[in-house]
Structure 1
Amino acid sequence: MANLMSLRARGARMKLNSRSRLSTEPNIPVPLSAYVVDCAVYIDGHRLPGRWSHERAVREVRDRGGDEGNAFVWIGLHEPDDEQITGIAETFGLHELAVEDAVHAHNRPKLERYEDMLFAVLKTVCYVGHAEPTTSAELVETGEVMAFVGRDFVVTVRHGNHSGLHDVRLKLEEDPEQLALGPAAVLHALADHVVDSYLEVTDAIEADIDLMEVEVFEPRSQVGSEQIYVMKREVLELRRAVMPLGQPLRRLAEGYSSLIPHEVRSYFRDVDDHLTTVAERVSGFDELLTTLVDAVLAKITMQQNNDMRKITAYAGLISVPTMIAGIYGMNFDYMPELHQPWGYPAVWLVIGTVCTLMYRTFRRNQWL
C-alpha cells in the first residue's frame, strides 16, 4: 500500500512538472479560446511552430524586432463579443471605435486610419444554390471580415459561417516570400480572397439569370415578376458589398498609409482591377433583370389582351342564339313562323349559319 501511494504521488508530481513546462515553454501548444480561430507568429515569412496566446505572441515578436517588419503576429477571431475582445484590444492597442465596429458588424466596406493602425472592413458573400433558380428564396448570403493592421500585427475578425480564412492562411504560408512583406501582405490576401469570391458568385448568378431569361421567353412559362424581383434583390445585396470597396482599394494602391509598402501597392491595383470587373457584371445584371421584368409585364399584358379577345369572341358567338331565343321566348300569338312546322328547324339553321360565319371570322383574325 505504501508503494502504491508513493507511485501515485510521483505520477502527480510528473503531471505537475509537465503542466509547468507547457505553460513556460513558448513552442508547446497552448489551448485557444472558442472565439480565437488561430494565433501565429511569423518571422521572415515562416511560421514559428506551436500555438501561442496573444500576449506571448506579441512579446515574442517585439523581442525579435517586429518594428522592422519581418516579424508579426496574425490572430484570427470569429464573432467575439465585447468581453472576449477586450484583452486583445488592450494588448494590440486597438482603437475603441474600430473595436465597436468589429464586434457589432453590419458595416459598409471601408478603410479607416487610426494613428499607426489601419482598420479595413470587407463584405463577404456566398452563393446559396437551389434546384431551380426561379425559386423565391435567398440566393446570396453575406458576412464580414474586418482587419486591424499594425506594424507588427494583424487581427482579423470574421462574422458569418461561410467566410473562413483558413485557406488564405495556408496559401500565404506556402509563399514565405510574399508573407515576408509583413501585415500588408495579409491584408492584400484577404482583399484578393474576398474579391475572388465575388467573381465566383457573379458566375453563379449569371448562369441563373441566363436560365431565367430562357424561362421568361419560353411559351407558357411559369416565371413571374416576383421571382425576378427576388433575384434583383439578391443582386442589390451583392452590389452593396462590391461598390463601396472600390475607393478603399484605390487608396491602398495609392499609398494611403506607410503601413502599406511600395511592393504591396501593385497587388492592390490588381485586386482593384478584378473588383472593377465584378462591378461591371453586377451593373449588367441589374440592367438585364430590369429588362426581364419589363418583358414579363409585357408578356402578361399580351396574354391578358389575348384572353380578352377570346372572351369577346365567345360572347359574340353566344349572343346570337341568346338574342333569337329571347325574341321567340316572348310567346306572342302573332309572330312569323310560330305556327309553321318548319319554323323550329329554320331558327336553328339561322343560328348555326350566323355562328359559323362569326367563328370563321374570329379564327381568321386570330381571336380564337
Structure 2
Amino acid sequence: MSMIRDLRAAVRPAVARRRAASDAVPDPVVSGNCVVDCAVYRDGSRVVGCATPGEAIRDVHDQGSGFVWIGLHEPTSDELAGIAERFDLHPLAVEDAVKAHQRPKLERYDDTLFAVFKTVRYVEHEHLTATSEVVETGEIMVFLGGDFVITVRHGLHGGLGELRHRLEANAELLGAGPSSVLHAVADRVVDTYLEVTQALQDDIDDVENEVFGGRGSGDAGRIYQLKREVLELKRAVTPLARPMQTLAERPMRQIHPDIREYFRDVEDHLARVSEQVASFDELLTSILQANLAQVTVTQNEDMRRISAWVAIFAVPTMVAGIYGMNFDHMPELHWEYGYPAVLGVTLTVCLLIHRGFRRNGWL
C-alpha cells in the first residue's frame, strides 16, 4: 500500500492540472467498433459498472483515485478525437496513433508519455519459399498519464485481452498505477520477440543444412527472403533499445520507481533478442555468399566439361571439313584403306584428348 500512496503523491499535481483543464470538455463519444475494452482500476482491482469511456472517466474524477485503461483497435481520427480532447493528448502523438507505421520510440508531451512498440508474429509455413512471409508485424501505441492509460493496437495479432486478465489477477502490480500497464505491454512485446527468434532459428538451421550439408546448393531466393524477414524483425527490435533504457534508468513522474526496476528485466531480454537478430543477419549473409560461391563453382565446372567436349569434337569436325573440300589430290584419297585409316587416326586423337582432360579433372 505504501507503493500506491507514493505513486499517488507523485502524480497528483499533474492529474489535478489536467483535470482542471478538461472540466469543460464533454464526455467523449467513441465508436464501439474500435473500443476493445474499457475499465477503471482502483487499489489493484477492476471497478465493476464502468462500461464506457465516459463512465470510466467520470468515476475516476468523482472518486479522485484509480486510473482508466481504454483499449482501442485501429481507431480513425474521428473516433480518437473525443478521447484525445478529454485527456489532452498531443496532436502529433494522436496523428501517429491513427496512421501507424511508426518506428519504436518513447516521447514525452507535458504530463503524458507516448510509447510505440512494434509487435511481431511468426507465420507458420510447411516449406519456406522465395515468397514466404515469415514475420508479420503490427503496432501497439500507449498513452500514459497520471490517471489513465490508452492502448491503441494496429494489426490482426498482438491482442491485449489475455494481458489484461493476467494483470487483473496481480493486484499488487496493478496497484502501482498506469505504469504497470506500460511495463506489461513492453514485457509482452519483448517476450514475443524471443518466441519469433526461436522459430526463425529453425528456418535458418534448415537453410544452412541445405547449403553446407550436402543436400544441394540451396535456393538463393529462399535465403534472401529469409534475410529480408530477419531485417523486418531487426527494424522492430533495434530501435526499442533506447526507449527501454530510458524507462529503466531515468526517473519519470509517470513511472513508479518500483515499476522502473521491472523495466530493467525487459531491457535485459531485449538486449538478448538484439544480439540474436544481429547474429541471424550476419549468418544469413554468410550463407548467401557461400551459396553464390557454390553456384559459381558449379557453373565453372560445367563450363570446363563443355569446353573439354568441344575440344574433343573439334578434331573430327576439322578432319571432316578438310576432306569435304572436294579437291582431286588429297592424302590417301584413292587408297583402299584410306577412309578407315582417317577414321582411326581421328578416333585415336579424340581418345588421347579425352584422356588428358580426365587426368586434369575436367571430365
Shift of 1:219: 4.7
Which of 315, 336, 339 is the equivalent residue of 1:341? 336
Q: Who is 1:22 aligned against?
A: none
- Is contact 1:41-1:47 (8 Å) kept? yes
Q: Who is 2:82 aligned against?
A: 87
Shift of 1:32: 7.4
- Is contact 1:32-1:53 (8 Å) kept? no
Q: Does 1:56 align with 2:55?
A: yes
Structure of higher CA gyration radius: 1
Shift of 1:220: 7.0
CA distance in 2, matches of 1:303, 1:293: 15
Q: Does 1:128 align with 2:123?
A: yes
Query: Share of identical aligned residues, percent?
Result: 58
TM-score normalised according to structure 1 size: 0.87
Q: Who is 1:271 aligned against?
A: 266
Q: Who is 1:100 aligned against?
A: 95
Residue 52 of structure 2 aligns with an amino acid whose one-letter code is S
Shift of 1:135: 3.4
CA distance in 2, matches of 1:261, 1:313: 78
Mapping 1:169-180, distance limit 5 Å = 169-180=164-175
Q: Who is 1:153 aligned against?
A: 148
Q: Deviations over 1:177-220 (max 9, x none)?
A: 11111111100000000001111111111111111111223557
Residue 335 of structure 2 aligns with an amino acid whose one-letter code is Q
Secondary structure class of the residue paired with 1:296:
helix
Shift of 1:306: 0.5
- Is contact 1:253-1:265 (8 Å) kept? yes
Shift of 1:63: 2.4
Residue 33 of structure 1 aligns with an amino acid whose one-letter code is G
Q: Does 1:231 align with 2:226?
A: yes
Q: Who is 2:237 aligned against?
A: 242
- CA separation of 1:264/1:220 partners in 2, compared to 1, >3 Å: closer, same or farther? closer
Shift of 1:268: 0.4
Unaligned runs of 5+ in 1: 1-30
Q: Does 1:301 align with 2:296?
A: yes
Residue 328 of structure 1 aligns with an amino acid whose one-letter code is Y
Mapping 1:16-35, distance limit 5 Å = 33-35=32-34
Shift of 1:62: 2.6
Secondary structure class of the residue paired with 1:313:
helix
Residue 144 of structure 1 aligns with an amino acid whose one-letter code is E
- Is contact 2:217-2:295 (8 Å) kept? no
Q: Who is 1:9 aligned against?
A: none
Paired positions, count: 334
Q: Deviations over 1:108-154 (max 9, x none)?
A: 11111112111111111111122212432322111110001111111
Shift of 1:244: 0.9
Mapping 1:276-287, distance limit 5 Å = 276-287=271-282
- Is contact 1:119-1:146 (8 Å) kept? yes
CA RMSD, 1 decimal: 1.7
Shift of 1:331: 2.4
CA distance in 2, matches of 1:294, 1:322: 41
Q: Who is 1:39 aligned against?
A: 38
Q: Who is 1:313 aligned against?
A: 308
CA distance in 2, matches of 1:350, 1:219: 43
Secondary structure class of the residue paired with 1:257:
coil
Runs of 4+ in structure 1 off by over 4 angstroms are none
CA distance in 2, matches of 1:32, 1:56: 15
Shift of 1:329: 1.8
CA distance in 2, matches of 1:144, 1:122: 6
Which of 201, 204, 208 is the equivalent residue of 2:199? 204
CA distance in 1, matches of 2:166, 2:314: 79
- CA separation of 1:256/1:237 partners in 2, compared to 1, >3 Å: closer, same or farther? farther
CA distance in 1, matches of 2:349, 2:215: 33
Which of 337, 340, 359 is the equivalent residue of 1:364? 359
CA distance in 2, matches of 1:324, 1:218: 47
